[in-house]
């Protein structure tokens, strides 16, 4: 997507004229998870200070981050980078945001933390009493790379907002009322966000921003339970116990049933009803395992897909639909992230006896 000359020009500009940005160290958690999810070739490390994901430190320089992104984009589409973030566990280990009692406090913590770290992009958080607006502005020295940073930051915030809205009592207020303005606007790329009926995406030539109704700031954190709102007590911090075996089995059955009925997304209310539990209790029990409803749903879809791929009479396009994907290309991308290869190749590797074109 970007030539090496553009990359070197950007790095040279940062090194020579923006000492503060050049010295900035970025938290590498999301970068590490994204690399693991995308499973890129070894040359993704060319020009960086490391040679594998295991060598990646907890913090990396802007220079190394720029090189990694540029190298990734040699082999993966920008949409793949966004999708990798959207498939991550909620907020990818950001303990400050994950322990916030509500969405408003989480957004405040994330934006303040990012600004304090002097990253290649900055957040500004404003509210007029009715609308909360987050402006994501990249450093001028980064040029087109800055637009990519802004989009990836939007994806992280999308995942954060989505996770809080999973149990928002005022969720109806969100439908169609949250607006993402993007400087990078491509129909295929933007469709990564299309799973959210509460989101409207529009093009902006000048800025990248997120706007949402102020009332949604009260949306509670699904991972914070047992105690008054504001205590920040996290179930995952209090207990390392996995979901017990019986609940695990029944949960998978309930998710499978929900996927068959909806053929698209798992409905939390439906799963909870099958257990005779409240949605909050189901989310709490899942959180105790360190997973999310979305991740378990993806795992069940992939398990169903692998089962069907073992039948040579079923086309891959039909497997896609049966696994709950309306778009075959989305299914192929999800399958590659999970298994590191395409459904066609997986079928040939696991079932070499099949005579399939």
> How far is 292 from 302, CA to CA, in rounded Å?
16
Q: With bands split at pLDDT 50, 70 and 90, how would you rate the model's confidence at 115?
A: low
Average of per-residue pLDDT across 259-271 = 61
Strand order across the beta sheet in which 208-213 lies: 121-127, 131-138, 208-213, 178-182, 199-203
Q: How far is CA 241 from CA 130, 250, 285, 291, in A?
A: 41, 17, 10, 12
Average pLDDT, the chain: 75
Which two three-digit tokens encode residue 87?
């498939």
> Given a cut of 70, is residue 292 above it in pLDDT?
yes
> Given a cut of 50, is residue 40 above it in pLDDT?
yes
Give the CATH superfamily of 239-357: Homeodomain-like (1.10.10.60)
In percent, how much of the chain has pLDDT > 70?
74
**pLDDT in the model for residue 140:** 83
Between 248 and 38, the more confident residue is 38
Q: With bands split at pLDDT 50, 70 and 90, how would you rate the model's confidence at 247?
A: low
> Given a cut of 60, is residue 77 above it in pLDDT?
yes
Which two three-digit tokens encode residue 47?
């020009």
In percent, how much of the chain has pLDDT > 90?
2
In sequence order, what are the beta bridge partners of 121?
Answer: 138
Question: Which of 30-34, 146-150, 194-198, 235-239 is most confident?
Answer: 146-150
**Which helix (H) or strand (E) segment is 16 a member of?**
helix 4-17
Which two three-digit tokens encode residue 155?
């994806």
> How far is 31 from 264, CA to CA, in rounded Å?
29
> Furthest-apart CA pair in the chain: how many Å?
65
Contacting residues for 263 by C-beta, under 8 A, at least 6 apart: 321, 324
| CATH 1.10.10.60 domain span(s) along the chain | 239-357
Which two three-digit tokens encode residue 114?
């990012």
Contacting residues for 245 by C-beta, under 8 A, at least 6 apart: none
Q: With bands split at pLDDT 50, 70 and 90, how would you rate the model's confidence at 232?
A: very low
Nearest to 98 by CA among 233, 219, 211: 233
> How far is 169 from 216, CA to CA, in rounded Å?
9
> How far is 16 from 308, CA to CA, in rounded Å?
56
pLDDT tens-digit map of 48-60: 888 877 777 778 8
How far separated are the first and last CA of the chain, in Å rounded? 32
Q: Is the pTM of this model over 0.75?
A: no
Average of per-residue pLDDT across 293-319 = 84
> Given a cut of 70, is residue 296 above it in pLDDT?
yes
**pLDDT in the model for residue 241:** 40
Residue 330 CA, distance from chain mean position: 15
> How far is 211 from 39, CA to CA, in rounded Å?
33
Q: With bands split at pLDDT 50, 70 and 90, how would you rate the model's confidence at 300?
A: confident
> How far is 63 from 16, CA to CA, in rounded Å?
12
> Given a cut of 70, is residue 172 above it in pLDDT?
no
Average of per-residue pLDDT across 204-217 = 88
> How far is 258 from 274, CA to CA, in rounded Å?
10
**pLDDT in the model for residue 209:** 92
Q: Do the Cβ atoms of 105 and 14 come closer than 8 Å?
A: no
> Given a cut of 70, is residue 32 above it in pLDDT?
yes
């Amino acid at each position: 997507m970007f030539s090496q000359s553009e990359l070197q020009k950007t790095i040279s500009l940062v090194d020579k004229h923006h000492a503060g940005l050049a010295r900035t160290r970025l938290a590498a958690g999301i970068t590490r998870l994204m690399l693991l999810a995308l499973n890129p070739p070894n040359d993704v490390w060319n020009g960086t200070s490391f040679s594998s994901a295991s060598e990646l430190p907890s913090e990396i320089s802007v220079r190394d981050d720029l090189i990694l992104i540029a190298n990734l984009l040699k082999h993966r589409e920008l949409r793949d980078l966004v999708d990798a973030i959207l498939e991550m566990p909620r907020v990818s280990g950001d303990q400050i945001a994950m322990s916030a009692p509500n969405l408003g406090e989480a957004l405040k913590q994330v934006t303040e933390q990012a600004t304090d770290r002097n990253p290649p992009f900055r957040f500004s958080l404003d509210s007029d009493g009715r609308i909360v607006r987050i402006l994501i502005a990249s450093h001028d020295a980064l040029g087109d790379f800055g637009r990519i940073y802004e989009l990836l930051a939007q994806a992280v915030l999308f995942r954060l907002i989505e996770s809080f809205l999973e149990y928002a009592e005022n969720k109806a207020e969100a439908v169609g009322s949250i607006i993402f303005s993007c400087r990078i606007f491509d129909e295929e790329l933007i469709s990564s966000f299309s799973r959210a009926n509460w989101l409207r995406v529009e093009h902006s030539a000048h800025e990248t921003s997120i706007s949402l109704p102020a009332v949604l700031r009260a949306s509670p954190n699904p991972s914070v339970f047992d105690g008054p709102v504001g205590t920040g007590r996290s179930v995952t911090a209090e207990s390392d116990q996995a979901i017990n075996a019986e609940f695990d089995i029944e949960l998978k059955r309930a998710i499978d049933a929900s996927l068959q009925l909806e053929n698209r997304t798992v409905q939390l209310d439906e799963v909870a009803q099958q257990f005779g539990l409240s949605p909050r209790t189901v989310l709490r029990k899942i959180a105790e395992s360190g997973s999310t409803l979305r991740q378990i749903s993806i795992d069940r879809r992939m398990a169903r897909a692998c089962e069907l791929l073992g039948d040579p009479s079923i086309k891959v396009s039909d497997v896609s639909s049966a696994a709950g994907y309306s778009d075959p290309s989305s299914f192929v991308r999800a399958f590659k992230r999970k298994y590191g290869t395409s459904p066609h190749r997986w079928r040939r590797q696991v079932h070499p006896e099949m005579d399939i074109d």
